[in-house]
Amino acid sequence: MKINGKPLNFLIITTDEERFPPVYENDSARQYRLQNSVALGKMRRHGLEFLNHHTATTACAPSRTSIYTGQYPSLHGVSQTPGIGKSSYDQNMFWLEPDTVPTLGNYFRQAGYQTWYRGKWHISNEDIDVPGTQTALMSNAVDGTAYPERIALYEEAECLDKYGFSGWIGPEPHGSNQANDGTVRDPGFADQVCRLLLDLDEKAQSGEEQPFLLVSSFVNPHDIVFSGIPSWFPNFEALKNEGKLPFVAPAPTAGESLESKPRCQKDYVYTYPRMYLPQPDDDSYRQLYYFLMAEVNKHIDRVYETLQNTSFAENTVVVFLSDHGEMLGAHGGLHQKWYNAYQETVHVPFIISNPVLFPEARQSELLTSHVDLLPTLLSLADIDAEAARKELARSHSEARPLVGRDLSEFITERQRMADEPVYFMTDDSVEEGSQMTNAITGLAFDSIIEPKHLETVVTKLPERTGDIVWKYTRYFDNPRFYTQQNHRFMQSSAANLLGAGNPDNVTTPRGIPDEYECYNLTEDPLEEHNLTSPLAGKALPDEIRHALEQVLVEQRLKKRLLPHTLNNEDSSSPGPLRR
């Protein structure tokens, strides 16, 4: 579609680890969040907010790759997140290969768009390393001061060009270096985006206008992972000491025993402080999360206001979303986003904003997913997704049909849409790798117990239960993540011979029984009552469970694609070009 006779531009703004506000958010926390999210308020006033949006996978690297490829980790291969058990260079850390699954950048660049990326990437390891080391070349100091010569090196290198994007300035804002945290890096990312928008506007006004897609990817509130290091957050400490931060109540489920839940959750609560560091679920911990959301919103507002002052503001669609959520001590003290599919982890914000498309604020309860983003944006840009895919298949081995929904007809109000199931999966075992010792204590820690691989459907069963929303999750031991027959990842010297999730490495399952969760989200939004557990107050009717199991299987077959290029599984299957 066009606005004012011009093709649409797209500005995609992302945060890291920002969850959709939970149903139990207390008044003071809510008031503080709304007062300190001015930019999001502006987007909502001329936007469509999806109130039931879900991440496709966790954690950071898998989710981001799914957002920008429209596919699940089973196909794109980025199933793990580095940082605890393994580094970005670990032999069991797999990144997106540039000639396999095409990205949003590949699709839009092929269609004639300028495609720019600023900020956190985390889809492949593109840092410029100091020679002879695995240490990234920094482009800023710990106080945020930029190093112009090093920035120029990253700009000249065009590290993301093979993924269809220009302009990325590294290194990746990841790891334990304070100069790489969100508090330090996000202001610089905002500067980069604002300068680029002004440059694009200058060219547009001189007659060199070309449609663009620009990703503005921020880090925070991801810095919650550094809770317990007060010296890194002096502004937060000052506000806390002055009593200027809200009371953020603990989750109602914080004291949950987890006895009725899959066993890996309780094991993760036990293991997390041993593999990382103790982070008590106290007032300061929860306040820091809200402070970090407020801080990143300041940078988002700078970007948004810069856009509004350009000549192309009216024909630019702004998209806001987060890669995944944050447990923040809910459900028995769970931290971060691993080994669960609770709402705190999978329910994330999603806003599409434009003053012409949305003269008034709209909201939708439609069930949506991150994998819907790519087909939706392609359609809004009048790019034929299937034709583009076939062309990209000439240079990409796994240019497969997109598995998400095209929401464009719903967005433009040309068509009503019924709910369809949302599928979520994760194989991320962040604690596993070649460095399974605590970086502070030096003590070894164990892997989280199996089963800990998840697949989930969020769905309605209209013919049986009307508008009730169900969440059904299977926890299983995934044979694709064995290193050798009957040996668990990294538990033997032979483990190094094969990599985590190597798709050619399929072995005989070990017989570890599956475990399940089921929640009636309509009646139990806190997800306290696992209806598959004998400890549940009431049993899940067999007909409902069978129906949910059927939906799970259907969604798995439809969306959990495997590479055509597998060597020891049906290698005669047709590739993308032959379909």
- Give the model confidence (pLDDT) of 515-561 as tens digits: 999 999 999 999 999 999 999 888 899 999 999 999 999 999 999 99
Give the number of C-alpha atoms closer than 13 A to the C-alpha of residue 393, restricted to the C-beta side.
18
| pTM, 2 dp | 0.94
Q: Is residue 560 part of a domain?
A: no
Number of domains in the chain: 1
- Which single residue is written with the structure tokens 């971060």? 336
Phi-psi group of 71: left, alpha or beta (phi > 0 → left; psi -120 to 50 → alpha; rest → beta): beta
Q: Is residue 424 part of a domain?
A: no
- Asked if pLDDT for residue 486 goes beyond 80, the answer is no
Give the DSSP per-residue string, 206-269.
Answer: TT----EEEEEE--TTGGGGGTT-GGG-HHHHHHHHTT-S---PPPTTTT---TTS-HHHHHHH
- Give the model confidence (pLDDT) of 330-389 as tens digits: 999 999 999 999 999 999 999 999 999 999 999 999 999 999 999 999 999 999 999 999
With cut-offs at 50, 70 and 90, classify the pLDDT of residue 509.
low
Q: Is residue 122 part of a domain?
A: yes
- What CATH number did the domain enclosing 174 receive? 3.40.720.10
Tell me how many degrees the CA angle 298-304-310 measures, rounded to the nearest 5: 140
Q: Is residue 477 part of a domain?
A: no
- Asked if pLDDT for residue 196 goes beyond 60, the answer is yes
Q: Which residues contact 30 (CB under 8 A, 6 or more apart)?
A: 21
Give the number of C-alpha atoms closer than 13 A to the C-alpha of residue 35, restricted to the C-beta side.
11
- Give the model confidence (pLDDT) of 142-189 as tens digits: 999 999 999 999 999 999 999 999 999 999 999 999 999 999 999 999
Q: Is residue 263 part of a domain?
A: no
Please say whether the beta carbons of 94 and 432 come within 8 A: no
Q: Which domain holds residue 364?
A: 2-20+33-247+278-417
Q: Is residue 467 part of a domain?
A: no
Q: Is residue 191 part of a domain?
A: yes
Q: Is residue 256 part of a domain?
A: no
